Amino acid sequence: MRVESQVPPVQRTYYEELFKSADLDRDGEIGVTDAAFFRKSMLPNETLGEIWMLSDVKNGKLDIDDFIVALKLISLAQLGAPISLDSIRMMPVVPPPKLQEVAPMPFDWVQHWNTVTQGARVVDSTGRANHPRGHIQQESTERQSQWNASKVDL
């Protein structure tokens, strides 16, 4: 597995579904005939070509790990970040890209840690921590209660 293709399990499941929908010829790889999927990102062809070159490390086709790298690079491009493998390595979690005609991934997979740690925690849809470094969710109901109490009805 490529270091750059590592994602939380819930995000990997989402990307595996995208891979299946992009693999039109069902050969287990994304090739030239399947590459039109990436145009759903609305990025210029030149940018998509650069992303393909960085993602493809084998034979002119993308396997699932290469595909995940491509999606991360697409997301970075959409965010205006530099398109590079180093950019992926520097971000602990890269959000999924926005793709036309593709249902977005639910936004419950990232929750912010408290301001002391200044990071992001990955959770699944049940709220259980699922972070590659093994962090656990420690959101207190007390903090939530304080938040609710501070709201003012207008």
Q: What is the chain's mean pLDDT, rounded? A: 77
Q: Are residues 71 and 24 in the same domain?
A: yes
* Range(s) of the domain holding residue 10: 3-90
Confidence of residue 154 (pLDDT cuts 50, 70, 90): very low
Residues 85 and 111 in one domain: no
- CB of 4 within 8 A of CB of 89? yes
The per-residue pLDDT for range 59-86, each reduced to its tens digit, is: 899 999 999 999 999 999 999 999 999 9
- Label residue 22 by pLDDT band (50, 70, 90): very high
Asked if residue 93 lies in contact with residue 120, where contact means CB atoms within 8 angstroms, the answer is yes
CATH code of 26's domain: 1.10.238.10
- Tell me the C-alpha to C-alpha distance, in Å, between residue 79 and each of 24, 87, 97, 142: 28, 12, 9, 34
Decide if 153 is inside a domain: no
Query: Which pTM does this prediction carry?
Result: 0.69
Please tell me the predicted confidence (pLDDT) of residue 45. 95
Is residue 151 domain-resident? no
Whole-number pLDDT of residue 107: 61
Predicted pLDDT at 111 = 46
Helix (H, G, I), strand (E, B) or coil at 77: helix
Please tell me whether residues 8 and 44 are part of one structural domain.
Answer: yes
63 with 114, same domain: the answer is no
* pLDDT of 148 above 50: no
Number of domain units in the chain: 2
